[in-house]
Amino acid sequence: MRCKRTVKIIIDIAMYLIFVALMQEHLWSDGLHEWLGIVLFVLFIEHNILNFRWYQSFFKGKFTATRITLATINIALLAAMLCCMVSSVLVSGKVFAFLNLGGARFGRTLHLVSTAWAFVLMSLHLGLHLTSLTNKLKKNKKLLRAGQILAVLLAAYGVYVFIGRAFYEELFYLTEFKFFDTDKSAVLYFFETVAMSFPFAFITYYGRKLLQMKKNKMKIQGGTMNKLLKSILSLVLCIGCVFALAACGQQNNTTTDNTDTAVSNNTVADNNTDDSADSTSEESTAGDSNILVAYFSWSGNTQQVANWISDKTGGELFRITPEVDYTEDDVFDRAQDELNSGTRPPLSSHIDSETMAEYDVIFVGFPIWWYDLPMPVWSFLEEYDLSGKTIIPFFTHNGSSSGASSISTVAELCPDSTVLTDDYFTYSGNNVDEAESDVDEWLTELGYKN
């Protein structure tokens, strides 16, 4: 029995840590995110098998307020995890791509909302088990007090992170996309996500205590009630301070945040599409320069970077445009279907071979779509003889800062060219307005800035 309990605890801890790690989607490359997801769901199935007796006894006994609360959380968590599983298959760009099920847009929406709720419900579920932990610590009052203070501080910080990340937007589908601060370290991101669990765990921990007090009709006098109220009041005060700090920070950054939000809300997502804010520019390819800046931009982020590169290098601009434009209604499914089937969409704009021969250096720009190049860029690179030319990739993203498979794809499509696979330019799409100085620095290092 003790061995089985130990196995349960190990599986539960592993599930939580893997889930938190998976929430940092931008830190994982290629299909590793999907394989970790498969490991998580194998553990989830094992967890349910080990706890099958809970299902067997579900309709037995009296449903008290405490039991109803526990059952509601557990059933909701089961539903959220199943939704995560289904949506993972629908949006898979690697492991399950061969199924070609379609429904990527619906899958992305379901995945965004279900993972957010699964995290919240998992945190609430963990709070149900805090009582047994605190009971073990009661023998050492100093350790218990230190643990309580640390937990309150983590809960307060968790609220700050919750507000800062606007996590509530994912819970209630107030946004279609999830954005990541790629400047933060993996350790800090992981710590912040764990901290977000504490406020929710506190809700069920203290909620359960109150329900048990009511159930047992305890005469709560002096000590017991005072301790409970002091703990709750400490947490409320800490959270209040965090809200005040968050409000001040929000007010100080209003101008910048409004600009970034206006851009970000038009994006499609890290591993799907991540361009935004449509714009236009005059472009011509007369072969008057030996530098070409060719780019594909669904709605503007990559185009903005391309414009800067052209201005600072004297390179000629060329927009890679498919004959049939992508729309907000079809971009998810169409982009995934084209990549999975290897479809090269025909382009509506072309460069004649004599003009292309005049270019020695070609900057190739694109957003990251489904961990790879958008297929129109494949069409462009395969259309011309680029032998002997220097190819310099640049791209925008909402998490795949390393470019996922895109850089290796460019190298494969241009085997007789010199592809700068280690000197590409990458920038977060939702902060692209701030990228000009980074473009300057990058071009200076490459030696192409005028």
- Taking the chain (450 residues) in consecutive chunks of 10 residues, what is each chunk's mean pLDDT? 82 94 78 90 94 89 83 93 92 78 79 94 88 75 84 92 91 77 82 94 84 58 50 51 49 35 34 42 62 93 95 95 92 86 94 94 94 93 96 87 83 96 88 91 94
Amino acid at 359: Y
Cα separation, 374 vs 413, in Å, equals 13
Can you give the pLDDT at residue 35?
A: 92
Can you give the pLDDT at residue 340?
A: 82
Q: Please report whether residue 274 resides in a domain.
A: no
Can you give the pLDDT at residue 384?
A: 96
Residues 309 and 210 in one domain: no
Can you give the pLDDT at residue 243?
A: 47
Residues 149 and 76 in one domain: yes
* Phi then psi dihedrals of residue 101, to 5 deg: -80, -20
Tally Cβ neighbours within 10 Å of residue 336.
27
Residues 211 and 341 in one domain: no
Domain range for 98:
2-252
Name the region of 280 (left: φ>0; alpha: ψ -120 to 50; beta: rest). beta
Q: Please report whether residue 284 resides in a domain.
A: no
Find the CATH number of the domain harbouring 433.
3.40.50.360
Contact 201, 123 (CB under 8 A): yes
- For residue 201, what are the CA distances in angstroms to 18, 107, 228, 315, 334? 18, 28, 15, 56, 41
Single out the residue of 10, 71, 76 nearest to residue 43, CA to CA: 10
pTM: 0.67
Tally Cβ neighbours within 10 Å of residue 262.
12
Contact 361, 290 (CB under 8 A): yes
- Among the candidates 252, 277, 308, a domain finishes at 252
Contact 162, 192 (CB under 8 A): no
Cα separation, 320 vs 322, in Å, equals 7
Residues 245 and 372 in one domain: no
Contact 425, 442 (CB under 8 A): yes
Residues 408 and 335 in one domain: yes
Residues 6 or more apart from 388 whose CB is under 8 A from it?
Answer: 416, 417, 418
Q: Please report whether residue 258 resides in a domain.
A: no
Can you give the pLDDT at residue 214?
A: 61
> Burial of 281 by CB count in 10 Å (0-12 exposed, 13-18 middle, 19+ buried)?
exposed
Cα separation, 326 vs 334, in Å, equals 8
Amino acid at 435: A
Can you give the pLDDT at residue 167?
A: 92
**Based on the structure, what is the number of domains in the chain?**
2
Residues 334 and 410 in one domain: yes
Residues 126 and 13 in one domain: yes
Q: Please report whether residue 259 resides in a domain.
A: no
Q: Please report whether residue 272 resides in a domain.
A: no
Residues 197 and 51 in one domain: yes
- Among the candidates 190, 224, 252, a domain finishes at 252
Residues 205 and 349 in one domain: no
Can you give the pLDDT at residue 256?
A: 31
Q: Please report whether residue 78 resides in a domain.
A: yes
Dihedral sign computed on CA atoms, order 277, 278, 279, 283: positive
SS3 of residue 128 by DSSP: coil
| Count of H-run helices and E-run strands, the chain | 17, 6
Q: Please report whether residue 266 resides in a domain.
A: no
Q: Please report whether residue 264 resides in a domain.
A: no
Cα separation, 176 vs 169, in Å, equals 9
Can you give the pLDDT at residue 269?
A: 41
Cα separation, 130 vs 143, in Å, equals 15
